Amino acid sequence: MATMLDLVSFLVLLSSVCCREPQPAQENVSPIVNMQLDSRKKMLSWNYIRNVSEQECVIYTPLGSPTSQLPQVAEDDTHYCIFRNHVLHRGANLTVNVTCDGNVFQELLAFANPGMEGSGAMNFSCFIYNVRFMNCSWAPGSRAPADVCYQLFWWASLHEDEVECPHYIMNSEGMRVGCHFNQLGEPQNMDNYFFLVNGTSRTAAIPFLDFVPFQAYKIEKYDPPTNITITYNRSHHIIKWDNPEIRYDLSSYVLYYELDIQRAGGSSKTKHVFQRGQDPNVYLMPSSAASVESTFRARVRYVYNDLWSEWSPTVLFGLPEEREPRGARFDVVVWATAVPALLLMCLCKRRFYRSHKLFPPIPQVKKEITGALMPTLEVTWDDGHPPPGSQEPEDVLMVEETW
């Protein structure tokens, strides 16, 4: 009986061994586990269950070339790669390639941006202005539902949490199409801004829109040039201006100026002049090139972007006497000579008048008064006697010449 029981036990054990599925060898199992993608940070992460000798991560995007890099290791022994210069809203394939125990393993993660095609935001742009403010704008997708609500998130570092737009800008239909940031904090020359626009709707899923990092110093729209002065040295008009205040500490040579000089009221116009920034900013214009009432204005941008500042206030310059014809110049010379002579005559007359008042001429006796004072030549005598007080008459001897 005991022999029979032993035989049955042996047969059961043999049956269980024969029917068990074969287990794969440990060296044929991929050491890569927990592979996942954080689409906001663009970070692919995973763990290993065995040691590996070689490793790399690769990203494939529809409009970009494949890019590979060496993984980094976090404090919790998680390996990761960050593809900050790629966009994911068009979808992507990401792989991790490793060598373990002499065998090569590859794990693939296919990422798709969920949502209805054509409903996400488009035409996104941002610019900094007045040193500390920033505006961003976008347009609704061509197939966006009427009730779509877009949200903008931004952050300055991959290690920071995202912040939602503080002040949304609405269009005439009440849809969010922009964002205003009224305080950017203290500037750093290596500032990189990350943006993500997603959306929600009751009728459809809305895909997100992401971007490569925005280098902050390249998206600043400057204020117009300041302190414009124009002086004249008889041969040139000397035009000077100051660089605008900017957010970042950059060389003045990265500024790019457009100078607009026009002849007011004339049919011919001076071509615009383009000049790199310098210290000081000077432009010399020959006097022969400027007409009466010429005008000057300027604007500026960063040399590697297209964000022009507004135009500066227009400045009027030009000397009228430089543009008069020869006949007019002759008239000017004549007047310049005659005016001092007239002034001299007026001055002499004024002095003569003053001396006339101080030393008046002796007045002459009128004839009527003179006749009244002189004695009458014919006097009548009474009884042959002269009137009293009269002088004795003198005898007058008349001498006649005889021949």
The ranges assigned to domains in the chain are: 32-111, 122-218, 226-317
pLDDT value of residue 162: 85
Give the number of other CB atoms < 10 A from CB of residue 55: 19
pLDDT value of residue 349: 55
Domain 32-111 has CATH 2.60.40: yes
| DSSP assignment letter at 268 | -
Q: Is 50 exceeded by the pLDDT of residue 67?
A: yes
Phi and psi angles of residue 30, each rounded to the nearest 5 degrees, phi first: -65, 135
pLDDT value of residue 339: 54
Preceding amide of 286 cis, omega within 30: no
Rounded Cα–Cα distance for residues 206 and 140 (Å):
11
Q: Under a CB-based contact definition with an 8 Å cutoff, are residues 330 and 321 in contact?
A: no
Lowest mean pLDDT among 202-211, 225-234, 359-368: 359-368
Q: Under a CB-based contact definition with an 8 Å cutoff, are residues 70 and 80 in contact?
A: no
pLDDT value of residue 372: 43
Q: Under a CB-based contact definition with an 8 Å cutoff, are residues 272 and 258 in contact?
A: yes
Question: Which of the pair, 13 or 99, is modelled with greater confidence?
Answer: 99
Q: Under a CB-based contact definition with an 8 Å cutoff, are residues 94 and 22 in contact?
A: no
Tokens found for residue 55: 């490793």
| DSSP assignment letter at 309 | P
Residue whose C-alpha is closest to residue 154's, from 117, 119, 198, 190: 198
pTM for this predicted structure: 0.66
pLDDT value of residue 25: 52
pLDDT value of residue 280: 81
32-111 and 122-218 share one fold = yes
Q: Under a CB-based contact definition with an 8 Å cutoff, are residues 119 and 206 in contact?
A: yes
Work out the mean pLDDT of the chain and round it to a whole number. Answer: 79
Residue whose C-alpha is closest to residue 79's, from 43, 115, 40: 43
Question: Which of the pair, 266 or 236, is modelled with greater confidence?
Answer: 236
pLDDT value of residue 380: 46
Lowest mean pLDDT among 12-16, 172-176, 212-216: 12-16
CATH class of residue range 226-317: mainly beta
Q: Is 50 exceeded by the pLDDT of residue 90?
A: yes
pLDDT value of residue 191: 84
Q: Is 70 exceeded by the pLDDT of residue 155?
A: yes
Rounded Cα–Cα distance for residues 71 and 56 (Å):
6
Q: What percent of the chain has pLDDT over 70?
A: 69
Contacts of 387 (CB under 8 A, 6+ apart): 379, 381
pLDDT digits (tens, 9 = 90+) for 280-313: 899 998 877 666 678 899 999 999 999 999 999 9
CATH topology of domain 122-218: Immunoglobulin-like (2.60.40)
Q: What percent of the chain has pLDDT over 90?
A: 50
pLDDT value of residue 377: 42
Q: Is 70 exceeded by the pLDDT of residue 124?
A: yes
